[in-house]
Structure 1
């Protein structure tokens, strides 16, 4: 006799997930941007974002999440890796060692004097790679079950 797994109608869980996933993603962006001066950065920000996506996979079925997000995680991983590598290679154009980063202060509207660092680009690449790899692994495991 074949057992079939029927997903129950978890309205409360799905509603709470929508709010909590939004909060997790916002906090992951905060960790991403504060990672240059305090603990955080692209790796932990990417893990937090992937955890929000996993929470959505738990609350909803995989088809709903895939149709909602419509992200090719393999291409996301490749894009992140390309950004990270190009950030490192960019230092060669200025005759400095690989992955040498620099920063400058700029005056931005509403934000005032803000430091912009090239390390943000490298962290963006790491952020995208972590999300892409984590979600590829999770979805591969989920699809085989």
Structure 2
């Protein structure tokens, strides 16, 4: 697209949407939200940037192919699901929580790491699909 307004708005909205997606991710293990919704918001931010500024510009901004996020996210999610079995002998996906609060985040637990894995998988899948479709057109 050749819209000056869309280019300006997309450059302003990209950091705000990424920040909001991280907020939704971090809020998700206590309240509604989490990795899936946060990942969708982050993917939409990059898709908006690609529509406004072109796919090559967005790829330069990302620096890595979004397909690399999928195995990273799967690894994080699987390790967080297996952590209770390995560390304490509890059943799969039992929540493990740190004793002390972290100032901004609150209590950190295995649910947060599972959500982070889902976040990376969702961003990777969405952007890979959209980028592949955009390249073939």
- TM-score, normalised on structure 2? 0.92
Paired with 1:33 and 1:91, the residues of 2 have a C-alpha distance of 21
**1:128 lines up with 2:131 in the alignment:** no
Picking from 111, 128, 141, the partner of 2:133 is 141
Paired with 2:97 and 2:83, the residues of 1 have a C-alpha distance of 14
Q: Which has the higher strand share?
A: 1
Query: Gapped runs of 5+ residues in structure 1?
Result: 1-6
- Matched with 1:103 is 97
Q: Which has the higher helix share?
A: 2
- Matched with 2:80 is 87
Query: Gapped runs of 5+ residues in structure 2?
Result: none
RMSD, aligned CA: 1.6
**1:52 lines up with 2:45 in the alignment:** yes
User: Is 120-129 or 85-94 further displaced after alignment?
Assistant: 85-94
Shift of 1:90: 1.5
Which structure has the bigger radius of gyration? 1
- TM-score, normalised on structure 1? 0.87
